[in-house]
Chains A and B, each alone.
Chain A
Amino acid sequence: MSRSTTNWRTAGLLAAAGIALAACGTTGGGTEGEGTDDGEGGGDCVGVIAYIGPLTGPSANLGINIVNGSNLALEQFQEANPDCDVTLEEFDSQGDPAAASPLVSEIVGNADIIGVVGPTFSGETAATGDVFAEAGLVTVSPSATNPDLALNGWDTFHRVIGNDATQAPAVASYLTGTANAEGVFVVDDSSEYGAGLGAGVVESLGDLVVGTESIQVGQTDMGPVVTAVNASGADSLYFAGYYAEASVLANQLRSGGWEGLFMSGDGTLDPAFVEAAGGAAEGAVLTCPCAPADEEFAAAYEASAGQAPGTYSTEGFDATNVLLQGILDGNTDRPSLLEWVNSYDAEGITKHITFDETGEVADVVVYQYPVEGGEIQVGVPIEQ
């Protein structure tokens, strides 16, 4: 019995391999053909950049911030270089790894696309990194901050933002240094991003942690968490997750009688958090390795997008610029653009941008954004 099963398996594997080979053959042929067309038709400064991330769905705000930043970078680029023909194609993953995978196949299969801004979230980045690496298509994420992403050996992976491992120590030094916390409760949302950040914060805080809980994305009843927080005697709470759950949690903690300091990370740094949490958001402190926009950028952004810049707008601008400068330099196919990004070394608007071998940006600053008077205030660097 077992022997015949093995045979069937082998046969199945062979068949699958055959199909895969055949598919590769077709795609390869297509790529070559289109490449030649481009060479004949356009000048030296031609290319398509893809954005992948949420544009609709529950986490759409963050993606829209990024894509507006990207579009602004592209507009300024086109103004400065009218001879260039660069376009940005947007792919809406809703931030969902399952939805991102087929989109990434589409991006990789389109030979015109030579660089990618994104993916936006850590979950979708983890799910699709292999595909980008295999295709040799360079990605620059403005916002995927899970530390493990850089450890996969993907040559194509880059991010212009500090990872959660850099955020966690900053959170700890804010809690101990500025807030004088004596007991911290850490809650994560079980997502790729939340679990990673939460674990980092727990590790950095050490003995100060008086309790931990995990919730689910989409959960609305935080009753057991509120009970646990109240029972633990914590004077501060750090929530590692996104704004949708953060607003629910903050709201229920406050109405459950807990009066400590509510802190959360970059996933919560969004006006929608304050809007939905209402009074419960007052006094909250949000940390983020993302830089606030200066006045000049804010004005240009507002003129272009029709709204004020938000979390990751500046990083979206920077990530796009890295790719645009490469295309301007004449790197109009995938291998040369990848090479360009790997050796990039220039000043961005958020920080000095240069990547190490794993794709991490060298220069990292973490900011804290207090919520006061019903609004998120301008970020201040956390001293470590």
Chain B
Amino acid sequence: MQLQYVLDNFMSLFIGGLVFGSLYALVALGYTMVYGVLQLINFAHSEVFMFGTFATVWALYLIGADATTTGLALVGSLAFAMVIAMIISGGVALLLERVAYRPLLKRGAPRLVALISAIGASFVLSEIMGLRGPIMAALGLDDEFDRYVASSRENVGMPLDRTPTVQFEILGHGVTNRDIIIVVSAVLMMVLVDQFVRRTRIGRGIRAVAQDPETSSLMGVNSTRVIQVTFLIGGLLAGAAATLYMLQVGITRYNAGFLLGVKAFTAAVLGGIGNLRGALLGGLVLGVAENLGAGLFGSEWREVVAFAVLVLVLLFRPTGLLGESLGKARA
């Protein structure tokens, strides 16, 4: 127990937790929306995120951004990378829905089968990324794309200079521009999605399918389209989270999605799976709790604290903090 240390560095740990928590929240939204509509845990969502991290790096390679890029060019390259990452992640999510889920659901397969399919798809996606070098070599393209596929199983770093600058201080801890960018853009995107689901026509369709798929299709809702849109939104947000993650962490690997995926899924359950606002709350609570826990007991206790918090919350609120499903969300 290092209470004095935690008190002295509270803001630093707290803000670090908020930053990671908002990344968890963005990814958690993908889990929670798919669960809300299909009652299916999309375990391959972590790989959708992982593809986004690589798309971010590749987009920066493509436009030749490097450590010397500064100012407006830096902001522009990051924005470009985020758009590309969102497109790639969205595309992977759609592909996943088309290949791994739709054929199963169409034939009325049990949810358990779809779950196994999800786990399988997760391995396939991760290994494709880990084997991209040999795959390109087999196609004879490895020389052309050397920078993109070299040492496929190693860490790949962000080519930019990501050193943040302190903008202002809270209780002696400097808040950097990077912290602000990550937290603000994550929260903003989540608010947008929340409003989209609550206010638009497609959003109403999503809620209808979540409540009762059969009745809603009798009422003329195209449930295939709704499911597609749900996967797409989850993918787009995972792509955005991937760029923000690369801004914060700076390094990715073919299996980088796994741990973050587990955390994001935990955040979704913590907030109440199927609940959009719950995903945001769950992500932030999880991020802050594990950072403070790491400060209090040492880094090696980080995961223990995170999951102890989950168990405690579920003991008292079995449906999570906000515990309301997507279908029951008020318009």
Residues of A within 8 A of B (CB): 56-58, 60-61, 190, 213-216, 218-221, 223-228, 230-231, 244, 247-248, 251-252, 254-255, 257, 272, 275-279
Contacts and interface: CB of A to CB of B under 8 A. Distances in A.
A220 B295 CA distance: 17
Contact of A276 (B20, B157, B161): B157
B155 A244 contact: yes
11 contacts: A223-B20, A244-B154, A247-B155, A247-B251, A248-B250, A252-B249, A255-B164, A257-B163, A275-B157, A276-B154, A278-B158
A215 B299 contact: yes
A220 B249 CA distance: 7
Contacts of A60: 153
B129 interface: no
Contacts of A190: 300
Contact of B163 (A223, A244, A254): A254
A57 B131 CA distance: 11
Contact residues of A: prevailing secondary structure? helix
User: Which interface residue of B156, B251, B294, B295 has the most chain A CB atoms within 10 A?
Assistant: B251
User: Which interface residue of B5, B259, B302 has the most chain A CB atoms within 10 A?
Assistant: B302
Contacts of B67: 278-279
B154 A275 contact: yes
B296 to A, nearest CB: 10
Nearest to B303: A216
A309 B19 CA distance: 41
Given A57-B153, A255-B162, A223 B251 contact: no
A224 B12 CA distance: 9
A7 to B, nearest CB: 38
A227 B12 contact: yes
Interface residues of B, number: 40
A251 B251 CA distance: 8
A255 B182 CA distance: 15
B102 interface: no
Contact of B300 (A216, A257, A279): A216
Contacts of A276: 154-157, 251
B226 to A, nearest CB: 34
B318 interface: no
Interface in B1-34: 5, 8-9, 12-13, 16-17, 19-20
Nearest to B163: A255
A194 to B, nearest CB: 12
Interface of B: 5, 8-9, 12-13, 16-17, 19-20, 67, 151, 153-159, 161-164, 178, 249-251, 253, 255-256, 258-260, 291, 294-295, 298-300, 302-303
A218 B259 contact: yes
A244 B5 CA distance: 29
A252 B299 contact: no
User: Which interface residue of A58, A214, A221, A276 has the most chain B CB atoms within 10 A?
Assistant: A221
A230 B294 CA distance: 15
A221 B153 contact: no
Nearest to A224: B294
B249 A221 contact: yes
- Smallest CB-CB A-B distances: 5 pairs: A276-B155, A224-B294, A223-B16, A214-B300, A227-B12
B16 A279 contact: no
Nearest to B245: A220
Given A58-B153, A224-B16, A214 B251 contact: no
A251 B67 CA distance: 13
A247 B252 CA distance: 11
User: Which interface residue of A223, A227, A247 has the most chain B CB atoms within 10 A?
Assistant: A223
Contacts of B294: 224
Contacts of A257: 163
